Structure 1
Amino acid sequence: MVSIMVLVMGADKGMSQSGGSSSSSSTCSSSFFSTLVQLIPCRPSVAPFSPIPPNEVCCQAIRLLGQPCLCILINGPPISGVDRNMAIQLPDKCAANFEPCK
């Protein structure tokens, strides 16, 4: 529960820094915050120093959001408790076949 609170608090901070989305959001129908909330099931898989493989709920969220929305998070402001290098690996671990984020 505490990690979810930290994740959401980090999102609020990130939204204020980026205005809620990045310039690459033209192909993603979700805002930065909405995308972050939808990926809460992936939180254990991107936590620094204690990663676990993504579960099916996380992988389903990755596939539903798509590559453009995931790239908004990866290229957006820092998110407390999220290792970006691990987040970049989620599509491969979930067999999502996404193009790399630019």
Structure 2
Amino acid sequence: MEGKPRSVALALAVVLVVATTMEMGLVSGAQGICNMTRDELMACKPCISTVKPVEKPADVCCTAIAHADLPCFCAYKNSGMLPYLGIDPSLAMQLPAKCSVPAPPQCK
């Protein structure tokens, strides 16, 4: 069971990286990814940052995760680039649990 939340969390972290690139203007489009807007994705980033991460996710982050397409995030679960992009994988793995969002059964 423990592997499923980790997969979703890592996938979420990768999507947050995409949001970061959108913020920097490298990717266009305001629609976001996996049913989360760019603003919702960016609201989650402070919790998984490698620099001064915050402990508690913002309400907008948890609300967005609760309505996100979590199986979509599973497609990003194996990225090894997270630490290089300022994302702490350990913190990313904790984000769904901090938001009380269960992992979907499709994520393995």
Q: Secondary structure at the match of 1:47?
A: coil
**Any residues of structure 2 matched to 1:1-102 within 5 Å, and which?**
7-8=20-21, 34-35=33-34, 37=38, 38-52=40-54, 53-76=56-79, 78-79=81-82, 80-99=85-104, 101-102=107-108
2-structure distance, mates of 1:82, 1:10: 15
The Cα RMSD (Å) is 3.6
Q: How far apart, CA to CA, are the structure 1 residues paired with 2:23 and 2:77?
A: 14
Q: How far has the Cα of 1:59 moved from its partner?
A: 0.3
Structure 2 distance, partners of 1:63, 1:98, is 10
Q: CA deviation at 1:12?
A: 8.4
| Distance in 2 of aligned mates of 1:46 and 1:39 | 11
Q: Which has the higher contact order (CA 8 A, sep 6+)?
A: 2
Task: Report how many aligned residue pairs link the two structures.
Answer: 81
Identity of aligned residues (%): 32
Matched residue type, 1:43: K
**TM-score of the superposition, structure 1-length normalised?**
0.56
| Runs (5+) with no aligned partner, structure 1 | 16-30
Structure 2 alignment gaps of length 5 or more: 1-16
In proportion to residue count, which structure has more helix? 1
